[in-house]
Amino acid sequence: MTIVVFLASLLGAMAIGVPVAFALIFCGIALMTYGGIFDTQIVSQRLISGADTFTLLAIPFFLLAGEIMNKGGLSRRIVEFAIACVGHIRGGLGVVAIVAAVIMASISGSAAADTAALASILIPMMRDAGYNVPRAAGLMAAGGVIAPVIPPSVAFIIFGVAANVSITQLFIGGIVPGLMMALALFGTWMVLAHRESVAILPRQPMAVKMRATARAGWALFMPVIVLGGIRFGIFTPTEAAVVAAVYALFVGMVIYRELKFSDLYGVFLTAAKTTAVVMFLVASALVSAWLITSANIPAEIGEMIQPLIDRPTLLLAAIMVLVLVVGTALDLAPTILILTPVLMPIIREAGIDPVYFGVLFVMNNCIGLLTPPVGIVLNVVSGVAKVPLGQVISGVWPFLLAQISVLFLLVLFPELVLVPLHWLR
């Protein structure tokens, strides 16, 4: 009956249009009322303690770094660098999008911000060169969702706090899967682009490539600082977020000089608004998470799926299918925050490495950003590139299937995550 109360209160509130954060609080209140322990002080205390975590400070600073990067010219120089290096290949602008997406993912970790930056620069160029615009828009969207998988990643921070898993290990574990997602996009794009008749950019001489590399050098050095500092224990992920924001601010204002003092208010305001939404959502989710644990819901679900506990691969595959379905209706952060407290006790009981599960879980939720009807990233591409949403959806399917194939490849072969994780660790 507890599971029924949990699902009915949560889904019922969202069905009538209650924002997810408030729906999570309502769900917690419903569980408290059903358990006979209703106390408004518990709600307020859990809200405050949920947000009062040092690790969560990484979220506003990584979001700020992403905003500064886009406003300060770092994103544009990364795209110019990619065009100079691989733009001459058939379908080269699509390859540029994939390469730029990987580089930008290692800087900001925001799918929406990276997708908007890439689409605004590359879609007009691809349209003029004769590319299939819906397919190009689908590629931009699929490339953008790599951002929360390759560190630094706000999604990993949220999962790490909710699941009590090392964020540093999650960051390291996400590197290889993120690169595999990029390779899957590259292979799919090359097959599709081979059939198109488009203008091919001329091969750039070495002098031009060197000049583009020099112009983008400061931007390209940012992931080296952030990931290298985390990997070698120089600073924590939270401290890395501060370093990323300060570095992006310095480069944008002093080196590239495209970020003016007059721009700072808008940049900080946008980052603050996004942070407020994410942090309130996290705090609200941790209220319901505490009550989910108190109500022993994970144990009840564990009894229901007991036959799968001894077959971890099958259990993981079933969970991934469930998350894919949920991802069609919910955004990344709410899905992580709602399902993590329910699934983690089951994952630990089944003997599945929590870091490995966290990487696949976040990757699955990122793929959910591409699935209609919600598909946040699809809406971003549609708005920025002025392409109807229906056309973006039709163009993204080949890349969506490629990303799902990588996900289930990692389910079948955990070593693809665990071996690099052990080596990099």
- What is the per-residue pLDDT across 382-419, written as a single tens digit (0 to 9) for each? 888 888 888 888 899 999 999 999 999 999 999 999 98
Q: In this structure, is residue 352 part of a structural domain? A: yes
Domain range enclosing 263: 55-277+297-424
Cβ neighbourhood burial of 335 (10 Å; 0-12, 13-18, 19+): buried
Q: Where are the alpha helices (DSSP H) in 148-296?
A: 154-163, 167-173, 175-193, 206-231, 237-250, 261-294
**Distance between CA 330 and CA 325 in Å, rounded?**
9
pLDDT of residue 425: 66
pLDDT of residue 302: 65
Furthest C-alpha separation in the chain: 74
**Distance between CA 371 and CA 338 in Å, rounded?**
19
pLDDT tens per residue, range 261-270? 888 999 999 8
Q: How many CB atoms lie within 10 A of CB 214?
A: 11
Overall average pLDDT of the 112-116 stretch: 81
pLDDT tens per residue, range 82-97? 888 887 787 788 888 8
Q: In this structure, is residue 43 part of a structural domain? A: no
Q: Which residue has the higher pLDDT, 65 or 288?
A: 65
Copy the structure tokens of residue 76: 């544009």
pLDDT of residue 118: 83
Q: In this structure, is residue 209 part of a structural domain? A: yes
Pick the closest to residue 145 from 172, 119, 168 (CA basis).
119
Identify the weakest region by mean pLDDT among 36-50, 65-79, 141-155, 160-174.
36-50
Chain mean pLDDT for the chain = 84
Q: In this structure, is residue 33 part of a structural domain? A: no
Query: Band of the pLDDT at 341, cuts 50, 70, 90?
Result: confident
DSSP secondary structure letters along 267-295: HHHHHHHHHHHHHHHHHHHHHHHHHHHHT
Q: In this structure, is residue 292 part of a structural domain? A: no
Classify each residue of 134-165 as buried b or exposed e, where b means 16 or more C-beta atoms within 10 Å of its C-beta: bbbbbbbbbbbbbbbbbbbbbbbbbbbbbbeb
**Distance between CA 38 and CA 306 in Å, rounded?**
31
Q: In this structure, is residue 19 part of a structural domain? A: no
Sign of CA dihedral 305, 307, 309, 313: negative
Angle at 385 between CA 407 and CA 265, to 5 degrees: 95
Q: Which positions ≥6 away from 407 have C-beta within 8 Å?
A: 320, 360, 363, 364, 367
DSSP secondary structure letters along 290-321: HHHHHTTHHHHHHHHTHHHHT-HHHHHHHHHH
The helices-and-strands tally (H runs, E runs) of the chain is 22, 0
Q: Does the pLDDT of residue 217 top 80, yes or no?
A: yes
Provide the domain count of the chain.
1
What percent of the chain is modeled with pLDDT above 70?
94
**Distance between CA 298 and CA 215 in Å, rounded?**
52
Q: In this structure, is residue 414 part of a structural domain? A: yes
Angle at 59 between CA 80 and CA 114, to 5 degrees: 25
Q: In this structure, is residue 50 part of a structural domain? A: no
The amino acid that residue 259 corresponds to is L
pLDDT of residue 332: 83
The amino acid that residue 185 corresponds to is L
Pick the closest to residue 178 from 425, 418, 375, 417 (CA basis).
417
DSSP secondary structure letters along 35-100: HT---HHHHHHHHHHHH--GGGGHHHHHHHHHHHHHHTTHHHHHHHHHHHHHTTSTTHHHHHHHHH
Identify the weakest region by mean pLDDT among 3-7, 320-324, 394-398.
3-7
